[in-house]
Structure 1
């Protein structure tokens, strides 16, 4: 829609049939370009065993999708979104663990830097934009800003209310589980809990909290800065400074205003995450994953007779892990609170493991300082300990 509106403003004339055709072309073309880029990434992923190359592909993907979309005169923003959705959905199947760990860390840093860049860009552009507002009446500016902020704030709750009014078969509530994917026997307590969670609609307090969490940032600025400086006739683009100013205010109101007040609002509404339910889902998934691994071991043992010892050791480790997960599930099933029940024994075990890892790090540093361990080897061993520590849950019963 933005591309169609910009094209109409740049060309100086508007035709409804032509606008509809451009909108459909931009939308369908953006989806097609995004899917094509995602398909190309999927083909390239198996060829890149090096995590650094996988990380480079991940960083280049949004730029390639956007530039290709704009070059073909379709929606570059939509192409980026579609490519990101498809690549993200397929990443667990075609990305190695090492690449996933590195890419996740890099994107967290990129996201942090982009959010900071938003405010730097606003600070740089705002003085010039404010100067351009002198041609408008104060009332015009106030009305434009009020309408922009009001529409942004009201659109999300309107969408939530509308989706909640749809039949259950036409939407899936966040955190819901499709009936065909529910592996529990009908009538069991766990199955009944899932059915109740799926059937329950959002309360008014939940709608308010979800509505207030709809911040706008990088995407809004990326979209508004696609506005050209001039039209085809060479005249300045109409109301460009006013549009930029409205976008800046929306970003500041949602990122700063809503961001700083979200936590107090949630506390005031009396909402809190059901940590027991979240921990239960995680441990159910862990148990299912271990059971799948045990089933795969049977296939390995049948196909490779010489792997008996390795299969036996791995099976013992997996069975111990499965017993631990099922023990946590039993503890969670007995809890009537939304808070995760604590296990003193498990907390002690985690504390002991962290102490042991810290002792290993200290000893490795002493070896390095005494000249018995090169820096390169120290980094290798530290990375092993870092991964071991990363496996430890932050909470004792999660």
Structure 2
């Protein structure tokens, strides 16, 4: 998933840069030649990267200063628009600027953005992304009929045949590319770290088969100037390619994933490793910080016992007679207690012994604890 997401972001930005140059050539733009194309590509790419880094850096600094949740969400929302518009002002790639800004924030923001603000902003973007994606594909469907009705330069049958041919070319090119270039890289790069990243033929196929087309392709087609010959055909063909890739590749991707026999996801092991290292670092830091903050020895001992209890729970994960290891037992018991806490405070609210605002504040604490334990939706519902 990480590879597909990163590849999609960078591919879209690069493709739109090349697309913009192609439109200039198609519209007879003066001064377009090999040198001009190379210069335009350099400006678009380098300028987009530069603006993206600047926008990401400024966004993190502002969000580190702003403590109001609404203002923090506003800064987060305005960041991609600011990066895009600034890049377009210098004739650079706005899409690449947004991509780079997002990558910079994801890498540098963990230590500079407050935890509470990060949780709230992440929840906001999860909802916004879901709604935007849904809206974009609804618009694709709504625009299709109008595109077909506006097709005048070629018969509809020709457009359908062309769409199928272009879809086959798009899918086939990706399959060929991702199943040939790895062998070229292997021949040229013999470093041990490169060998460690190699995957077999089966493992490459989900990536090769996941080249869906969508809103970016449609936006590019609709951005073609009206004076370009065959614009109506290009739009209909683009719709056809989107439908073919989404329906054909989308419906068959689960079968490809099963056939690929991908290795077992080791994220849980990595999570346990990361938490173990973090706990060890906390225990090493504890004495010095307790002395610096002049903490009461009893409080220091209490904190140490809690952290050491967590370390023990992480390191002793052998299976128990009932099939649950110590980590799972710990998690199940804590979740049961959280559920009971939630039931009690809701009951207190219903009896008018506490205010709704108090309930909401306590719910926030319980939700954070539940998230730390890795509770899924089913656990939360229980």
CA distance in 2 between partners of 1:366 and 1:168 (Å): 68
Q: TM-score, normalised by structure 2?
A: 0.81
What is the aligned partner in structure 2 of residue 257 from structure 1?
248
Superposed CA RMSD in Å reads 3.1
State whether residues 156 and 214 of structure 1, in contact with CA within 8 Å, keep that contact through their aligned partners in structure 2: no
2:44 to 26, 47, 52: 26
Give the direction of change, closer, same or farther, for the CA distance of 1:110–1:215 in structure 2 (3 Å limit).
farther
CA distance in 2 between partners of 1:263 and 1:306 (Å): 55
Deviation at 1:122, TM superposition (A): 1.0
State whether residues 316 and 326 of structure 2, in contact with CA within 8 Å, keep that contact through their aligned partners in structure 1: no
Deviation at 1:326, TM superposition (A): 2.0
Q: Does 1:388 align with 2:369?
A: yes
State whether residues 65 and 76 of structure 1, in contact with CA within 8 Å, keep that contact through their aligned partners in structure 2: yes
What is the aligned partner in structure 1 of residue 177 from structure 2?
158
What is the aligned partner in structure 1 of residue 282 from structure 2?
293
Give the direction of change, closer, same or farther, for the CA distance of 1:165–1:55 in structure 2 (3 Å limit).
farther
Give the direction of change, closer, same or farther, for the CA distance of 1:370–1:140 in structure 2 (3 Å limit).
closer
Q: Does 1:71 align with 2:89?
A: yes
Unaligned runs of 5+ in 2: 1-17, 377-382
Q: Does 1:366 align with 2:347?
A: yes
Deviation at 1:270, TM superposition (A): 5.6
Give the direction of change, closer, same or farther, for the CA distance of 1:371–1:294 in structure 2 (3 Å limit).
same
Q: TM-score, normalised by structure 1?
A: 0.78
What is the aligned partner in structure 1 of residue 224 from structure 2?
227
Deviation at 1:81, TM superposition (A): 1.0
2:196 to 196, 199, 202: 199
Give the direction of change, closer, same or farther, for the CA distance of 1:248–1:140 in structure 2 (3 Å limit).
closer
Deviation at 1:12, TM superposition (A): 4.7
What is the aligned partner in structure 1 of residue 25 from structure 2?
8
1:132 to 150, 154, 173: 150
Q: Does 1:146 align with 2:146?
A: no
Give the direction of change, closer, same or farther, for the CA distance of 1:266–1:83 in structure 2 (3 Å limit).
same
2:264 to 259, 264, 274: 274
What is the aligned partner in structure 2 of residue 187 from structure 1?
none
What is the aligned partner in structure 2 of residue 95 from structure 1?
113
Deviation at 1:78, TM superposition (A): 1.0
CA distance in 1 between partners of 2:364 and 2:190 (Å): 43
Deviation at 1:135, TM superposition (A): 1.4
- Per-residue CA deviations over 1:294-343 (Å, capped at 9, x if unaligned) read 22223313433445443332222222212222223x77xxxxxxxxx962
What is the aligned partner in structure 1 of residue 15 from structure 2?
none
What is the aligned partner in structure 1 of residue 310 from structure 2?
321
- Per-residue CA deviations over 1:237-265 (Å, capped at 9, x if unaligned) read 33333333333333333334333322232
Deviation at 1:77, TM superposition (A): 0.9
What is the aligned partner in structure 1 of residue 14 from structure 2?
none
Unaligned runs of 5+ in 1: 173-177, 180-194, 231-235, 332-340
- Per-residue CA deviations over 1:41-96 (Å, capped at 9, x if unaligned) read 12212211233322222221111111222222211111111111111111212112
CA distance in 1 between partners of 2:214 and 2:190 (Å): 27
Q: How many residues align?
A: 355
CA distance in 2 between partners of 1:389 and 1:148 (Å): 46
Q: Does 1:217 align with 2:230?
A: no
Deviation at 1:364, TM superposition (A): 1.8
State whether residues 153 and 211 of structure 1, in contact with CA within 8 Å, keep that contact through their aligned partners in structure 2: no
CA distance in 1 between partners of 2:285 and 2:187 (Å): 36
What is the aligned partner in structure 2 of residue 241 from structure 1?
232
State whether residues 314 and 327 of structure 2, in contact with CA within 8 Å, keep that contact through their aligned partners in structure 1: no
CA distance in 2 between partners of 1:290 and 1:161 (Å): 45
CA distance in 2 between partners of 1:94 and 1:61 (Å): 16
CA distance in 2 between partners of 1:378 and 1:95 (Å): 27
- Per-residue CA deviations over 1:354-375 (Å, capped at 9, x if unaligned) read 3322222222222222211211
